[in-house]
A and B are shown apart, each in its own frame.
Chain A
Amino acid sequence: MTVTPAGSAGDQRTGVAVRFQDLHRWYGRVHALDGLTIDIAPGELVALLGPSGCGKTTALRALGGLDEVDGGRILVDGKDITHVPASKRGMGIVFQAYSLFPNMTSIDNVGYGLRLRGVGKDERRRRAGAMLELVGLEKQAERYPYQMSGGQQQRVALARALAIEPKVLLLDEPLSALDAKVRRQLREEIRRIQIAVGTTTLFVTHDQEEALALGDRVGVMSAGRLEQIAPPAELYDRPATAFVAEFVGLTNRLKGVAGDGVVEVLGAHVPLLAGSAGPGPVSALVRPEAVRLIAADGADAHVLAVSFLGSLGRVQVQLPDGDLVVAQVPATDVAGLAPGTAVRVTVVPAPVFAVAG
Chain B
Amino acid sequence: MTFTPSAPLGAAASDTPLAVPPKGGGRRRRRSRFHSGSRLAILVVIIGYLLLPLVAMLEFSTRGDYGSRSLDSFAAIFTYPDLIDAIVTSLEIAVLTVFGMLLLLVPTMIWTVVRVPRMRRVVEFLCLLPLAIPAIVIVVGIAPIYQWMGRHLGPVGGSPLTLVLIDIILVLPFAYRAIDAGIRGVDVATLTDASRSLGAGWPRAIVQVVIPNIRGGILAAAVLAVALVLGEFTISSLLSFNTMQVLIFAVGKRDAYTSVAVSLTALVFAFVLLIVIARFAPGAGSRGQGAAEEEEPLATPLPTRAVR
Chain A residues within 8 Å of B, Cβ to Cβ: 14, 64-66, 85-93, 95, 97-103, 112-113, 116-117, 127, 130-131, 133-137, 144, 146-152, 155, 157, 160-162, 164-165, 170, 181-182, 185, 188-189, 192-193, 196-198
Residues of A within 8 A of B291 (CB): 146-147
Expressed in whole angstroms, the minimum distance between the Cβ of B216 and any Cβ of chain A is 11
Q: Decide if B300 touches A127 in the complex (CB within 8 Å).
A: no
Q: Find A152's partner among B195, B196, B295 (CB 8 Å cutoff).
A: B295
Q: Decide if B293 touches A196 in the complex (CB within 8 Å).
A: no
Please tell me if B292 contacts chain A, counting CB pairs below 8 Å: yes
Most B C-beta atoms less than 10 A away, residue of A64, A146, A160, A164: A146
Q: Decide if B307 touches A196 in the complex (CB within 8 Å).
A: yes
Closest 6 CB pairs of A and B: A136-B299, A113-B198, A116-B199, A99-B194, A86-B196, A149-B292
What is the chain B residue whose CB lies nearest that of A90? B199
Residues of A within 8 A of B295 (CB): 149, 151-152, 181-182, 185
Expressed in whole angstroms, the minimum distance between the Cβ of B201 and any Cβ of chain A is 5
- Distance of A103 Cα from B182 Cα, bound (Å): 13
- Distance of A252 Cα from B249 Cα, bound (Å): 85
Residues of A within 8 A of B47 (CB): none
Q: Decide if B292 touches A92 in the complex (CB within 8 Å).
A: no
Residues of B within 8 A of A93 (CB): 193-194, 197
Q: Decide if A146 touches B289 in the complex (CB within 8 Å).
A: yes
Query: Could you count the A-B residue pairs with CB atoms below 8 Å apart for me: how many are there?
Result: 132
Q: Find B293's partner among A112, A149, A155, A198 (CB 8 Å cutoff).
A: A149
Expressed in whole angstroms, the minimum distance between the Cβ of A186 and any Cβ of chain B is 9
- Distance of A8 Cα from B293 Cα, bound (Å): 40
What is the chain A residue whose CB lies nearest that of B291? A147
Q: Decide if A134 touches B190 in the complex (CB within 8 Å).
A: no
Q: Decide if B307 touches A146 in the complex (CB within 8 Å).
A: no
- Distance of A329 Cα from B175 Cα, bound (Å): 64
What are 11 inter-chain pairs, A to B, with CB distance below 8 A?
A93-B194, A95-B190, A97-B190, A103-B213, A131-B307, A134-B303, A152-B292, A160-B194, A165-B308, A192-B302, A196-B303
Expressed in whole angstroms, the minimum distance between the Cβ of B192 and any Cβ of chain A is 9
Known interface pairs A95-B193, A127-B308, A185-B298; A117-B199 also in contact (CB < 8 Å): yes
Count residues of B near A (Cβ-Cβ below 8 Å).
38
What is the chain B residue whose CB lies nearest that of A150? B292
Residues of A within 8 A of B197 (CB): 64-66, 86-87, 89, 91-93, 161, 170
Q: Mark B272-302, 1 if CB is under 8 A from A, else 0.
A: 0000000000100011111111111011101
Expressed in whole angstroms, the minimum distance between the Cβ of B104 and any Cβ of chain A is 24
Please tell me if B123 contacts chain A, counting CB pairs below 8 Å: no
Q: Give 8 A-B pairs besides A86-B193, A147-B291, A192-B302 with Cβ atoms closer than 8 angstroms.
A: A66-B197, A88-B199, A97-B190, A137-B299, A144-B287, A151-B296, A152-B293, A189-B299
Q: Decide if A113 touches B293 in the complex (CB within 8 Å).
A: no
Known interface pairs A103-B282, A146-B289, A149-B295; A116-B204 also in contact (CB < 8 Å): yes
Q: Decide if A196 touches B282 in the complex (CB within 8 Å).
A: no
Please tell me if B64 contacts chain A, counting CB pairs below 8 Å: no
Residues of B within 8 A of A136 (CB): 296, 298-300
- Distance of A192 Cα from B299 Cα, bound (Å): 11
Q: Decide if A197 touches B199 in the complex (CB within 8 Å).
A: no
Residues of B within 8 A of A99 (CB): 187, 190-191, 193-194
Expressed in whole angstroms, the minimum distance between the Cβ of A297 and any Cβ of chain B is 47
Q: Decide if B306 touches A197 in the complex (CB within 8 Å).
A: yes
What is the chain A residue whose CB lies nearest that of B194? A99
Q: Decide if B307 touches A134 in the complex (CB within 8 Å).
A: yes
Please tell me if B76 contacts chain A, counting CB pairs below 8 Å: no
Q: Decide if B186 touches A102 in the complex (CB within 8 Å).
A: yes
What is the chain B residue whose CB lies nearest that of A197? B307
Please tell me if B209 contacts chain A, counting CB pairs below 8 Å: yes
Q: Decide if B296 touches A87 in the complex (CB within 8 Å).
A: no
Q: Decide if A164 touches B199 in the complex (CB within 8 Å).
A: yes
What is the chain A residue whose CB lies nearest that of B298? A185
- Distance of A116 Cα from B207 Cα, bound (Å): 13
